A = this chain, B = another copy of it.
Amino acid sequence: MATLWKSRYAQRNQRMERSIIRELLKFTMQPDIISFAGGLPAPELFPVARCQDAACRLLDEHGAQALQYGPTEGYPPLRRFIAERMARYSIDAKPENVLITSGSQQALDLIGKLLLNAGDRILVEEPTYLGALQAWNSYQAEYVTVPCDDQGVRTDLLEAALRVGPKFMYILPNFQNPGGTTLALERRQTLVRLSNRYGIPIVEDDPYGTLRYEGEHLPPLVALDSDYQTTAGLNGHGYMDGNVIYLGTFSKTLAPGLRLGWVVAPEEVIDQLVIAKQGADLHTSSFDQMLAHEIVQDDFLDEHIRLIRQVYGQRRDVMLAALERYFPEECSWTHPEGGLFLWARTPDWIDTGDLMPEAVAHKVAYVPGFAFYTDSKRGRNTMRLNFSNAQPPRIEKGIQRLGNLLKTKIAARSDQAVLVPA
């Protein structure tokens, strides 16, 4: 007898499918495959010893609290820590403006729960973070896309998309996933101006902002929005009263296994998100929140971020040099100023999705770029390459394998062109 369940599934967006990245990860776990597919931090940088000390101290001093239920909003000292930390990025948040989430991914889900009715449109960059599409597909969202170039999302094309009436815009300004690009300052200003003019708020996702390897830090949209409203005389209720929800995470700076992210938003929005979170998981692990708070004390987080920057910056350089050396000249790629990813383009006639099994056979993996498009027929000649996880010799070797495969493909086509002239 078939189960009764299958006939009872809710209507969902067709695109609510198992994440291609996560499925790929399963195939690429074998140690002989060099995988650029995941978005995994370098495990050898995890602060294991410090985490151990922190866990021991935490359980000695606050064991019962760490194992007990806690408030939905989050562990108060961690909310304070985050609020204070936001100040250095010109984000003037109080602890009441901060909600701790079970990773940034949960923030995306809660935003969907709070804002989306079936059929609502979201303005997204093209390409954009796969996990956001996955979170919102389950609320039957539709999308309006605006393409990106090397300076980030094309704000010259934004007004036409805003006139379609999206519920909000979803923007990754720093070292975008998957593109690796950074949104230029003037474009940030344009975005904020248009957000205010059209009355369309912004969800600003910033998982990588602190991981910059070159160039100057640019102000976040949430801060620019505040400046804009103050200058325009719109902001009557102090800072945190704007049009931007900002998302941060400890996943890239501390440890993704702890599943700790946060939302910074107007208090009234936080209150609504808290209600949504109560129904979703009551609260994020007390133990993990208190552990993270213990770990980051005494400026450890800054110190640790410096180390990550140095290591990832070097790995980025190794990957860029290897691409230059081993990739066919018919390919191009972005030059990310930070983050975890770069984005490569092959000739139009190569389909990186179809190429994947061959790549895996050559013991190398990437994410086919179409996964980051709302229409999977697009981006077929692109790929996302992660440079944070593998160590330099493996990065070099993996890019060589991939470059050789691409060169073979291109050579085979040239031969064919010679044999069978059009």
Please list the residues of chain A having a beta carbon within 8 angstroms of any beta carbon in chain B.
1-6, 8-11, 16-19, 22, 26, 38-41, 43-44, 46, 48-49, 51-52, 55-56, 59-60, 63-72, 102-103, 105-106, 108-109, 113-118, 120, 131, 134-139, 167-168, 199-201, 229, 234-237, 241-243, 245, 251, 255-259, 265-266, 268-269, 271-272, 274-276, 278-288, 291
Contacts and interface: CB of A to CB of B under 8 A. Distances in A.
Contacts of A269: 3, 5
Contacts of A167: 8
Contact of A285 (B17, B55, B114, B257): B257
Given A59-B51, A135-B280, A10 B114 contact: yes
Most buried by B among A22, A39, A167: A22
A63 B52 contact: yes
Contact of A67 (B134, B200, B258): B258
Given A114-B10, A257-B68, A201 B137 contact: no
Report the 10 A-B pairs with minimum CB-CB distance, sorted nearest first: A48-B63, A257-B286, A67-B255, A43-B64, A55-B55, A134-B279, A1-B234, A135-B279, A67-B257, A52-B59
A55 B55 CA distance: 7
B281 A105 contact: yes
Contacts of A43: 64-65, 67-68
B3 A69 contact: no
16 contacts: A1-B234, A1-B235, A3-B241, A3-B243, A3-B268, A5-B245, A17-B275, A43-B68, A46-B64, A49-B59, A67-B255, A68-B256, A102-B284, A103-B282, A109-B281, A287-B287
A137 to B, nearest CB: 7
A280 B106 contact: yes
Contacts of A8: 115, 167-168, 201
**Copies of this chain held together in the complex:** 2
A134 B281 CA distance: 11
Given A10-B114, A102-B102, A280-B280, A257 B287 contact: yes
Nearest to A44: B64
B18 A275 contact: yes
Contacts of A6: 268
A52 B46 contact: no
Given A234-B1, A279-B16, A52 B44 contact: no
A294 to B, nearest CB: 12
A165 to B, nearest CB: 11
